[in-house]
Amino acid sequence: MKKNVETVLSELRHDPRFISCVTAWHHFPSTPGEYAEIPSQLHPSLKKSLEKKGILSLYTHQKEAYDRVSNGENVCVVTPTASGKTMCYNLPVLDDILKDPNTRALYIFPTKALAQDQQAEIEDICRNGEFSVKSFTFDGDTPTQKRRLAKQVGQIIITNPDMCHQAILPHHTTWARLFKSLKYVVIDEMHNYRGVFGSHVANVLRRLMRICEFYGSSPQFILASATIANPRELAEILTGKAVAVIDQSGAPVSDKDFIFCNPPVVDPDKSTRQSSIDVAYRIASRFIKNDIQTLVFARSRMSCELLVQYLRDSYYDEFERNKIQGYRGGYLPNERRAIEKGIREGSIIGVAATNALELGIDIGRLDVVVMSGYPGTIASTWQQAGRAGRRQGKSAAFLVAGASPLDQFMVMNPEYFFAQTPEYALINPDNPYILSQHVKCAAYELPFNDTPESLLGFGGVHIEYILDHLVEEKILYKSGSRWNWSSTSFPAASISLRSASNDNFVIIDTTKGAEVIGEVDWASAPMLIHEGAIYMHQGRQYHVNKLDYPSRKAYVKEVNVDYYTDANLAVAVRVISTDRVREDLLLLPKLGDLSVTGVSTIYKKIKLYTNENVGSGEISIPDMNMHTQGMWFSIPESICKGIDLRLMGGLLSGLANVILNIAPLFLMSDKNDLGVAVEVRSTYDGTPTIYLYDSYPGGVGLAEKAFEVLPYILKACFELVSACPCSDGCPGCVGPKEEIGSGVKSLCLKVLSGILEGVEM
């Protein structure tokens, strides 16, 4: 007999082995919704549509959004997952279109899947209300005939930032009907627009507003976001407009348990813990075997594929194995759509996914979410946990900590998570690398004039120096007071919004011919598809036989081995300039520009299930160099006096490791958005130095924010290391003693204590 969620949770509560690993078990009781009357002025057809779906009233935040939009305000709705944010923009937009068919709206979603979901939602509203609105998705999969119709008659165009950037704005003359009557720009999943991606998107919106001004329109913005610390700031930087924030949700909340779990120590001497992947799959399988729909979030593509393999390995029947699927970037679109449909319809019971399923793709509401590793931010953790929770009955979310210091800090300090405001989402649209790329695109779209309004109209940034540089490069020419396009190139095609390069690598399976099975972005290629790597896809293993760098192709062949691979990156840093120094701190931390050169050097073969290192190999690929923003500090002589120089390298590596892992607590970033490097004798001033830098050319403000909150980062590092139960270093604090040296943990504590002495927080 199959068990329900409540029964399995009860069994876990009474399982001594499991409960010994639990550091927090929070119960969130269900809460009723807060409702408001449907606006009397709402178009009758929309009222009819709502009634047909059984909606006789709105949540209070939906009503507030409708009222504010109707009053002409730009609004940003910041409420939890599945709180009905979609209604906050669909209701006022559809109402306006029904009252004035000339009204146009542009919906922007971060992914194609979300855009397709939204069109289905709009069609459902129209069908229930027995009215018609001409809505079109516009992405890379849209057929030519539908593209033509969208331009001619589309009232709502649903797209993504990449298509705005490459297909709509550069060809605005073919979209004249849209831009002349554009009244609304809807931006959903706003919290996703942070870091590099968000900095690019802010510039795309600058270009959009410039084109709108040319056609005589001035659209309102309606934004929706998960909870972050600075929604108004982010919304206003993205749009360049004043924005009203709606953050009091009226939606009901279902009954949910949220459990924090720290895997048991398996090697007391090394303080090594059981893999979070192993524990996560064991928890998930208890629910999946009872046909309880469960989603397991992984921190990487590799972890996702390992989870699929482990979950499937627990079944012998092929039919049952197919109820478990993976979901991540790199899968082909048709494959992803089929998986989404299977989850919605219930034919897929278990899913292992990266954060590709964190966003609001319609997969229905599941019963259980298991997070294998801390997702990296408080906001993302709540977003992933929010995938569990049906309107009726019990749901559960599990956070299984990994071995990293950040995971260990969070699971050992659960009160920090449950009491803490989510992080700041940081963007830097004025990053010179990013800004200059979009000024080039904007000049292609419309000439710039030699007037203050034109030169400062691009986000209020003076851009004349960029335009003059483009003239020198013969990309523009200046005629009188105008900068005009002169190049034969199409600039948007060579600019990726999501990475430093537009060149993805294609994965070609040569097992039975030559079939494309996925792709990997340029930055990840050295780590994931170097020659000798094991590339994983839907639980299958492929050996990378050849990596053709010039043609961006990786040739793989299916294998069945008992290991996966993990690549290492070596880094060299050079200080270019120093912009700021904090003289209020003993460390005298500095902020400035760095030159960073990285190269993948070796890869390790890691045994499945046990995570033993069973071999290694060399990687031969081109070096990657970038100019970025970073902060750095030297250990004062007064603190490191008497420390054996032979231990200094290990000390710096241990401190850098814990800083790199803890810094994301204070920045809404992934650990991979930052890089660290150490020098026992710095090339800058000859002192023992630690560097923390943005992993993107030019920087997006992460190192700058870390520079500003450095005392808080170091305090959290001290708390983590001092609370860690290991005797002499482990992966959960400064790193294993085998890598950093014996005695380094105590030295790290001594240095951190000395640094923090007398610092006012």
pLDDT tens digit sequence for 199-212: 999 999 999 999 99
Phi then psi for residue 426, to 5 deg, are: -105, 135
- Identify the burial level of 392 via C-beta atoms within 10 angstroms of its C-beta, where 0-12 means exposed, 13-18 middle and 19 or more buried: exposed
pLDDT for 685 equals 83
Question: Amino acid letter at 686?
Answer: G
Q: What's the Cα-to-Cα distance from 211 to each of 269, 488, 608, rounded to whole Å?
A: 64, 21, 54
Q: How confident is the model at residue 732 (pLDDT cuts 50, 70, 90)?
A: confident
The predicted pLDDT at position 523 comes to 67
Q: Which two tokens stand for residue 194?
A: 């942070």
Question: How many CB atoms within 10 Å of residue 543?
Answer: 16
Would you state the structure tokens that stand for residue 375, as one six-digit string? 């997702």
Token readout for 680 is 């026992």
Q: Averaging pLDDT over each range in 63-67, 452-456, 521-525, 667-671, which range is the top one?
A: 63-67
Burial code (b: 16+ CB inside 10 Å, e: under 16) for 170-186 equals bebeebebbbebbbbbb
**pLDDT at residue 659, as a whole number:** 95
532 token code pair? 């000798």
Question: CA-CA distance, 106 to 503, in Å (whole number)?
Answer: 28
178 with 154: CB under 8 angstroms? yes
* Predicted local confidence at residue 292, as pLDDT: 95
Strand ranges inside 401-539, DSSP E: 448-449, 476-479, 482-485, 505-509, 515-520, 534-537
**pLDDT at site 391:** 59
Helices and strands of the chain, counted as H and E runs: 28, 32
Distances (CA, A) of 289 to 283, 317, 455: 11, 12, 62
Q: Distance between CA 745 and CA 757 in Å, rounded?
A: 18
Report the pLDDT averaged over residues 48-56.
95
Cβ(271)–Cβ(287) below 8 Å: no
Q: Residue 183 pLDDT more than 70?
A: yes
Least confident of 7-21, 22-36, 239-253, 453-467: 453-467
Q: What is the mean pLDDT of residues 423-432?
A: 84
Distance CA 203, CA 434 (A): 8
Residue 620 CA to its chain's centroid (Å): 29
CATH number of 570-598+624-756: 3.30.1360
Quick one: which of 653, 542, 649, 526 has its CA closest to 598? Answer: 526
Q: What confidence score (pLDDT) does residue 666 get?
A: 84
More confident residue, 188 or 670: 188
- Structure confidence at residue 579 (pLDDT): 96
Overall fold of domain 35-246: Rossmann fold (3.40.50)
What pLDDT sits at residue 272? Answer: 80
Domain spans, the chain: 5-25+254-419, 35-246, 432-483, 505-561, 570-598+624-756
| N-terminal to C-terminal alpha carbon distance within the chain | 57
Tokens 């924090």 identify what position? 260
On the question of pLDDT at 501 being above 60, the answer is no
For 233-289, the three-class secondary structure string (H helix, E strand, C coil) is: HHHHHHHCCCCEEECCCCCCECCEEEEEECCCEEECCCCEECCHHHHHHHHHHHHHC
Task: Give the per-residue pLDDT at 24.
Answer: 97
* For range 714-735, the mean pLDDT: 89
* pLDDT surpasses 90 at 362: no
Mean pLDDT over the full length of the chain: 90
Nearest to 314, CA basis, from 363, 280, 264: 280
Cα–Cα distance for residue pair 464/452, rounded to 1 Å:
10
Q: Which of 532, 429, 507 is nearest to 161 (CA)?
A: 429
Alpha-carbon distance 675 to 747, whole Å? 23
Q: What are phi and psi of 286, to 5 degrees?
A: -65, -35
Query: Quick one: DSSP state of residue 501?
Result: -
Radius of gyration of the chain (CA): 27
Label residue 626 by pLDDT band (50, 70, 90): confident
- pLDDT over threshold 60, residue 679: yes
C-alpha 412/C-alpha 642 separation (Å) is 33
Q: What percent of the chain has pLDDT over 70?
A: 97
Query: Is residue 707 within 8 Å of 591, Cβ to Cβ?
Result: yes
For residues 156-183, give the mean pLDDT. Answer: 98
- The full 3-state SS of 283-299, as one line of letters, equals HHHHHHCCCCCEEEECC
> Is this prediction's pTM over 0.85?
no
Question: Encoding tokens for residue 328?
Answer: 């991540």
Burial of residue 320 (number of CB atoms within 10 Å: 0-12, 13-18, 19+): middle
Q: How many residues does the chain have?
A: 761
* pLDDT band of 494, cuts 50, 70, 90: confident
* Average pLDDT of span 154-175: 97
Residue 184 parent element (H or E): strand 182-187
The answer for residues whose C-beta is within 8 angstroms of residue 71's C-beta and 6 or more apart is none
Q: Residue 683 above 70 pLDDT?
A: yes
Residue 513's contacts (CB-CB under 8 Å, 6 or more residues apart) are none
- Residue range 450-467: average pLDDT? 83
Q: pLDDT tens, 576-618?
A: 999 999 999 999 999 999 999 877 678 888 887 666 778 888 8
pLDDT of 611: 65
Averaged pLDDT for residues 219-228: 94
Q: How confident is the model at residue 181 (pLDDT cuts 50, 70, 90)?
A: very high
**Left, alpha or beta for 330 (phi > 0: left; psi -120 to 50: alpha)?**
left
In three-state form (DSSP H/G/I as H, E/B as E, the rest C), the secondary structure along 679-729 is ECCCCCCCCCEEEEEECCCCCCCHHHHHHHCHHHHHHHHHHHHHHCCCCCC
Distance CA 424, CA 667 (A): 6
- 35-246 and 570-598+624-756: identical CATH topology: no
User: What's the distance, CA 553 to chain centroid?
Assistant: 26
Residue 48: both structure tokens together: 């009819």
Q: Output the pLDDT for position 38.
A: 97
- On the question of pLDDT at 190 being above 90, the answer is yes
Q: pLDDT-derived band of residue 502, with 50, 70 and 90 as boundaries?
A: low
Nearest alpha-carbon partner for 420 in 619, 712, 63: 712
Query: What's the pLDDT tens digit per position in 388-424?
Result: 886 567 999 999 999 888 899 899 989 888 887 677 7
Token pair belonging to 554: 């990786």
Name the maximum alpha-carbon separation found in the chain: 82
The confidence score (pLDDT) of residue 389 equals: 82
pLDDT, average across residues 290-298:
95
Contacts of 488 by beta carbon, 8 Å cutoff, 6+ apart: none
Of 96-100, 417-421, 504-508, 577-581, the one with minimum mean pLDDT is: 417-421
Q: Based on the number of CB atoms within 10 Å of its own CB, is 556 exposed (0-12), middle (13-18) or buried (19 or more)?
A: buried
Q: Are 92 and 70 in contact (CB under 8 A)?
A: yes
- The interaxial angle of helices 276-288 and 301-313, nearest 10 deg, is 50
- Judge contact between 724 and 730, C-beta under 8 A: yes
Q: Which residues contact 142 (CB under 8 A, 6 or more apart)?
A: 136, 150
- Coarse DSSP helix, strand, coil percentages of the chain, rounded to the nearest 5 percent: 40, 25, 35
The least confident of 150-164, 168-182, 558-572 is 558-572
pLDDT exceeds 70 at position 715: yes
Distance of alpha carbon 554 from alpha carbon 356, whole angstroms: 23
CATH class held by domain 5-25+254-419:
alpha beta
